Amino acid sequence: MTTRVTSTGAHGAGLVEFRDTVRGADVPAVRSIVASSGFFAPHEIDIAVELVEEHLARGAASGYHFIFADVDGDPIGYACYGPIGCTVGSFDLYWIAVRAACRGHGLGRRLLSEVERRVRRAGGRRLYVETSSRALYEPTRGFYERCGYSAEARLDDFYGPGDAKVIYVKPVDETGRREDCRIRGG
Amino acid sequence: MTTRVTSTGAHGAGLVEFRDTVRGADVPAVRSIVASSGFFAPHEIDIAVELVEEHLARGAASGYHFIFADVDGDPIGYACYGPIGCTVGSFDLYWIAVRAACRGHGLGRRLLSEVERRVRRAGGRRLYVETSSRALYEPTRGFYERCGYSAEARLDDFYGPGDAKVIYVKPVDETGRREDCRIRGG
């Protein structure tokens, strides 16, 4: 499925198209998008790329689903998510990244909202995101908080000494959406 | 490596041997041990077996390490653990199970202690275990607590509505052991 939306035009293009299908050309595109962030170590970038390859090899059975944000046919951002094994309706957001040159125009927020819509449609109840407590990830944590995610757990020293894992969650089912509005006062 | 220890003899055998190598015969043995617990759904039992097959196919590169507790060459219990990707020194305990007929003699505790020793030797700092908040798992949670694990996080409705995930952790490195003694008063 492709969702065609009018963009702000701020990144120099009139249209952003959201795409769920994965193509061979997405392998180098994902490497380049993730590397452009400056957030990830080489072995982490390799993992991002492996998830694309895994989907290309095994399709939906891989458990990794993708949404690409294309401008003129080229991805400038993407998200990767999937159901969590042995749960009923819990999903993980594995990656979300926007090419550095295209950031600051709300594309990450729109990608995340597209993920939430698909998770809800697939019967999902809760979407989880894990991130680091390090200062480098403060903008990341702020982004999730602005998108309605709350830090439900913190595992001290998880990634390494002094580097905790923070687990964010957002209820994405209908009940969750109502609760969200009530708690946040709309 | 095989560690030979004298057992209590209560399960009808004089010797329990701990074994790190994985054999083809462990595939049906793990299925039978995990099924005997009555705790796991068929698809969860399949996952336990898949981890053994994954190790047989890819060895240590699978990320799944095993310890089997053999009596007269047959496993009566086992544990599966491994390093958590993108972390420095965090390990997960994926499974620990003792054949139902052999429970109540401290074998689970000894298996867990063998895992902790190997994690420490591999430079591990923290060993994580995830379990359910459901009443069925109360003995499991009690077991981890008696073994020095503390519930560091709880994710409500994670496994399903009303079924939270509880994340236990134990520091297994030297610092952790000292802290453990201090906090618990020996």
- Give per-residue pLDDT as tens, A14-49: 599 999 999 999 999 999 999 998 878 899 999 999
Specify the pLDDT at position A39.
Answer: 79
- Other CB atoms within a 10 A radius of the CB of residue B37 amount to 14
pLDDT at A141: 97
Average pLDDT of span A102-123: 96
Nearest to A86 among B89, B90, B159 (CB): B159
Residue A37 has a pLDDT of 86
- pLDDT of res. B175: 54
Residue A164 confidence (pLDDT): 98
Rg over CA atoms, chain A: 16
Give residue B39's pLDDT.
79
Q: What is the pLDDT of residue B38?
A: 84
Res A34: pLDDT: 97
Residue of B nearest to A45 (CA): B86
User: For A137, left (φ over 0), alpha (ψ -120 to 50), or beta?
Assistant: alpha
Residue of B nearest to A156 (CA): B152
- Chain B residue nearest residue A151, CA to CA: B155
Nearest residue of B to residue A127, measured between CA atoms: B158
pLDDT exceeds 90 at position A182: no
End-to-end CA distance of chain A: 30
Q: Are strands B74-83 and B163-171 parallel, antiparallel or unpaired?
A: unpaired
- What pLDDT, in 10s, does the model give residues B160-174? 999 999 999 999 986
Mean pLDDT across chain A, nearest whole number?
Answer: 89
Residue A65: pLDDT over 50:
yes
Residue for token pair 């063998």 = B114
- Top residue of A158, A168, A169 to mutate, by most chain B CBs within 10 Å, is A158
CB contact under 8 A, B155 and A158: no
Contacts of B157 in chain A (CB under 8 A): 90, 125-126
Task: Say what the pLDDT of residue A14 is.
Answer: 58
Collapsed DSSP state (helix, strand, coil) of residue A168: strand
**By C-alpha distance, which of B66, B82, B52 is closest to B18?**
B66
Identify which of B86, B153, B167 has the shortest CB distance to residue A44.
B86
Mean pLDDT of A148-165: 98
At B105 the pLDDT is: 92
Examine the pLDDT at A13 and tell me if it is beyond 50: no
Q: What is the pLDDT of residues B143-156, one digit of tens each?
A: 999 999 999 999 99
Supply φ then ψ for residue B22, to 5 degrees: -110, 135
Copy the structure tokens of residue A141. Answer: 């944590």
Residue A10 has pLDDT above 60, yes or no: no
For helices B26-36 and B42-58, what crossing angle results, to 10°? 150
Pull the structure tokens for residue B103.
């429970």
> What is residue A38's predicted lDDT score, i.e. its pLDDT?
84
Chain B residues whose C-beta sits inside 8 Å of any chain A C-beta: 43-44, 47, 84-90, 125-126, 128, 152-161, 167, 169
CA distance B152 to chain A (A): 7
Distance from CA of A60 to the nearest CA of B (A): 18
Task: Output the tens digit of pLDDT for each of chain B's 186 residues.
Answer: 444 444 444 444 459 999 999 999 999 999 999 999 887 889 999 999 999 999 999 999 999 999 999 999 999 999 999 999 999 999 999 999 999 999 999 999 999 999 999 999 999 999 999 999 999 999 999 999 999 999 999 999 999 999 999 999 999 986 545 443 333 332
User: Would you state the pLDDT for residue A2?
Assistant: 47
Q: What local confidence, expressed as pLDDT, does residue A42 receive?
A: 93
